[in-house]
Amino acid sequence: MTKDTIYIKTWGCQMNEYDSSMITQLLLNKYHFKKTNIPELANILILNTCSIREKAQEKVFHQLGRWRKLKEKNPAIIIAVGGCVAVQEGEEIYKRANYVDIVFGTQTLHKLPEMIKQVKNKNKHIIDITFPVIEKFDFIEYPKFPGVTAYVTIIEGCNKFCSFCIVPYTRGHEISRPVDELLLEISILAERGVREVNLLGQNVNAYKGKTFDGKICQFSELLRLVALIDGIDRIRFTTSNPIEFTDDIIDVYSDTKKVVSFLHLPVQSGSDRILKMMKRAHNVKEYKDIIKKIIKARPNIQISSDFIVGFPGETQEDFEKTLQLIKEINFDASFSFIYSSRPGTPASDLLDTISIEEKKKRLYVLQNLIKQNTKIWNEKMLGSIQTVLIEGPSHKNPMELSGRTENNRIVNFEGKPNMIGHFINLKITKINSNSLRGHYSKKFNN
Rounded to whole angstroms, the Cα distance separating 344 from 351 reads 15
DSSP character for 410? E
Cα–Cα distances (Å) from 289 to 251, 275, 343, in that order, read: 14, 16, 34
Sheet strand arrangement including 262-264:
262-264, 302-309, 333-338
Q: Is 123 left (phi over 0), alpha (psi -120 to 50) or beta?
A: left
* Residue 165 known to bind ligand: yes
13 is in an annotated binding site: yes
Beta-carbon contacts of 418 under 8 Å, excluding residues fewer than 6 positions away, are none
Strand 401-405 to 410-413 pairing? antiparallel
Using alpha carbons, list the distances in angstroms from residue 389 to 168, 304, 332.
35, 20, 20
Which residues, at least 6 apart from 372, have a Cβ–Cβ distance to it below 8 Å?
A: none
* Sheet strands side by side (includes 44-49): 34-35, 5-10, 44-49, 78-83, 102-104, 126-128
Contact 149, 191 (CB under 8 A): no
CA atoms within 13 A of residue 420's CA, in its CB half-sphere: 15
Does 158 belong to an annotated binding site? Answer: yes
Query: Which residues are within 8 A (CB) of 256 and not within 5 positions of it... i.e. 6 or more apart?
Result: 223, 224, 227, 235
Q: Is 217 annotated as a binding residue?
A: no
Contact 390, 404 (CB under 8 A): no
DSSP string for residues in 215-273: -EEEHHHHHHHHHTSTT--EEEEE---GGG--HHHHHHHHH-TTB-SEEE---B-S-HH
Q: Is 162 one of the annotated binding-site residues?
A: yes
- Helix then strand then coil, in percent of the chain rounded to 5, is 40, 25, 35
The verdict on whether residue 84 carries a ligand-binding annotation is yes
**Contact yes or no for 51/16 (Cβ under 8 A):** no
Annotated binding site for [4Fe-4S] cluster: 13, 50, 84, 158, 162, 165
Annotated binding site: 13, 50, 84, 158, 162, 165
